[in-house]
Amino acid sequence: MTAITIPKYSYSSILNDAAKITWQVQDLISPDQPLDFTKPFLPEAIAHVQVIACLDADEKLTLNQIRGNSYLHLFGLVEEFILPLVVNHVQSIGHENIEATEAYLCFAEEESKHIHLFRQFAAAFEAGFESRCEVIGPAKAIADFVLQHSPLGVALVTLHIEWMTQRHFLDSVRNHQGEQLDPQFCSLLKHHWQEEAQHARLDTLMVEEVAKTLDSPAISAAIDDYIAIIQYLNQGLKAQVQLDITSLEQATGRTFSVAERDEIRQIQELSYQKAFLGSGMSHPNFVKTVQALSPTGYARIAALATTFS
Ligand SMILES: [Fe+2]
Ligand SMILES: [Fe+2]
């Protein structure tokens, strides 16, 4: 058995906070609320398009919007494995603590709603963008790969993603001074963030509950699983960069030279890695949980995180 000390959250306070948030998908995206393709979607702190020397201002705007589309697609992808993780956890804990059951079921329901939201966004993007943008998948194949790992390994990846979402909104989206982002896109991010704040706390509790049943070798195996999934996701991000460059060529009518393609690839690979990997691995609350779980495991994760920042 492994004792861990991590922030104390309560199911009742999480349920109270969740009950205050009542938005539905149709409130946020519908034919009456179109995306504004004259504006960027993502803050520059996440998209990193301005530093690409071979693109002009219009092409940078187009790449930002391609990144906005892939950003929400990637959230939709990961939520397709988070949902079964949470449903399986509810089944494993039984109904003795009914507030816990209620909170995890609420978590699962919200992730289903988010998958729905992101699919609606993808349809709106496809309807308004000038050409087709390919994205990695299919979601089921990615979920199947991730879910073959231990529940604690998958719960750690989920914890990383939940805290990463908080960091993106609080650090980059909420205070995007000077950037005139599409208000519709920002609204989606804001409403998603509101519910993810409960998920981050619930997943912390989930990690604690699962870890309590495991010995040191099993915890170490879960860290191995976390790292394996992160490396798998890193390959997916690199594949998405290649698709983005092709989408950008189609949207702009340009054919990039080898040197131009390489410049975009290098900047965008690091951008995706910072946004989706480094920012979760280094989030202080994720770090606290992993340090309490396994100091040696944390050291391995921290070393890997330096390659994504
Ligand atoms: Fe979500
Ligand atoms: Fe979530």
Q: Give the span between the Cα atoms of 21 and 199, in whole angstroms.
A: 13
Q: Identify whether 124 is part of a domain.
A: yes
Q: Identify whether 294 is part of a domain.
A: yes
Q: Identify whether 264 is part of a domain.
A: yes
Give the largest CA-CA distance in the chain: 62
Sorted by sequence, the CB contacts under 8 Å of residue 250 that are 6+ apart come out as 131, 132
Q: How far is the CA of 148 from the centre of ligand 1 (A)?
A: 21
Q: How far is the CA of 256 from the centre of ligand 1 (A)?
A: 35
- The answer, yes or no, to whether residue 182 has pLDDT greater than 60, is yes
Q: How far is the CA of 75 from the centre of ligand 1 (A)?
A: 7
| pLDDT, averaged across the chain | 95
Q: Identify whether 240 is part of a domain.
A: yes
- The answer, yes or no, to whether residue 4 has pLDDT greater than 60, is no
Q: Give the span between the Cα atoms of 199 and 18, in whole angstroms.
A: 9
Ion ligand 2 contact residues with beta carbon within 5 A:
196, 199
The dihedrals phi and psi of 279, each to the nearest 5 degrees, come to -70, -25
Q: Identify whether 5 is part of a domain.
A: no
Q: Give the span between the Cα atoms of 127 and 56, in whole angstroms.
A: 24
Instruction: Name the residue range of residue 227's domain.
Output: 12-17+55-308
What is the domain count for the chain? 1
pTM of the model: 0.95
178 band by pLDDT with thresholds 50, 70 and 90: confident
**Are the C-beta atoms of residues 105 and 90 closer than 8 Å to each other?**
yes
Given this model, what pLDDT does residue 258 score? 98
3 band by pLDDT with thresholds 50, 70 and 90: low
Given this model, what pLDDT does residue 309 score? 84
Q: Give the span between the Cα atoms of 45 and 308, in whole angstroms.
A: 15
- Count CA within 13 A, CB hemisphere, residue 284: 1
Q: Identify whether 34 is part of a domain.
A: no
Q: Identify whether 80 is part of a domain.
A: yes
Q: Could you read off the pLDDT of 215-227 as tens digits, one per residue? A: 999 999 999 999 9
Given this model, what pLDDT does residue 31 score? 82
* Between residues 263 and 172, the one the model is more confident about: 263
Question: At residue 159, what is the residue type?
Answer: L
Q: How far is the CA of 161 from the centre of ligand 1 (A)?
A: 9
The CATH number of residue 233's host domain is: 1.10.620
- The answer, yes or no, to whether residue 209 has pLDDT greater than 80, is yes
Q: How far is the CA of 33 from the centre of ligand 1 (A)?
A: 21
Q: How far is the CA of 151 from the centre of ligand 2 (A)?
A: 16
Given this model, what pLDDT does residue 7 score? 55
Given this model, what pLDDT does residue 5 score? 52
Q: How many CB atoms lie within 10 A of CB 263?
A: 17
Q: How far is the CA of 14 from the centre of ligand 2 (A)?
A: 13
Q: Identify whether 114 is part of a domain.
A: yes
Given this model, what pLDDT does residue 2 score? 52
Q: Give the span between the Cα atoms of 209 and 151, in whole angstroms.
A: 11
Closest CA to 82 of 189, 170, 197, 161: 161
Given this model, what pLDDT does residue 6 score? 53
For the segment 286-300, the average pLDDT, to the nearest whole number, is 96
Nearest-5° angle of CA 272, CA 273, CA 277? Answer: 120
